[in-house]
Amino acid sequence: SPLPPSLQAMESEISAAFESGEPEDILSSAFKLTVTREDICTLQPLRWLNDRIMNFYMSLLVERSKKEGYPAVYAFNTFFYPKLSSASHRAVRRWTKGVDIFEHDVILVPIHLRIHWTLLVIDVREKTIKYFDSLGQKGDHICKTVLKYLQEESKEKRKIELTVSEWTLHSMGTEEIPQQNNGSDCGVFVCKFADFISRDKPIIFTQEHMPYFRRKMVWEIIHQQLL
């Protein structure tokens, strides 16, 4: 059946974002971030998402969380974890200037492992740190690194000692979360893990949804609005 007019308009807009104009054209600008056509084109099938797309999408999730009925979400950008893991808390202490991350319900940490995107999620309410990898790899050491960061952040910013024994660290198993069956969709998986988690929704999508999610994300980033 033919698409309704509104969907037809969205589809043609998404296609135009990919197909017309110059790579350096700015298609969206918000959250002190700009997204060019070249960035948007990483949302084409089988392309790897780049930092700009990841960070813009995380910012959209944070923005949505300010609405009534959503958990309060904080998201670190993609450059946070490499800096933390290669240096220490001191190297990133300024990143949370004027922010108490512990006042949030959910903290998202997108992680880039050379050629693979994963997601770490801190649930402050439940005192859990969970690692989401759509290729099923374990991230226990990453969870520990971030817990140590939380200890130091709490001590420095709130003068409160975190009770480590109260926290649960867990790498999600392949039977717990959907897995990718190609070498290119990890970034989209990370964005959608974050999307569902930041709404307190069960993660029910699969690899089959990826082409649809990619196109939807194009529209959402251009319009700076989550559907």
Residues marked active site are found at 116, 133, 186
Q: Taking a C-beta distance cutoff of 8 angstroms, is the pair 112, 48 a contact?
A: no
In three-state form (DSSP H/G/I as H, E/B as E, the rest C), the secondary structure along 195-213 is HHHCCCCCCCCCHHHHHHH
Instruction: Give Cα 182 to chain centroid, integer Å.
Output: 19
**Residue 220, Cβ neighbours under 10 Å: how many?**
19
CA gap 199, 196 in Å, rounded: 5
CA gap 12, 8 in Å, rounded: 6
Residues 6 or more apart whose Cβ sits within 8 Å of residue 46: 182, 184, 185
Q: Could you tell me which of 158, 93, 82 has the C-alpha nearest to residue 124?
A: 158
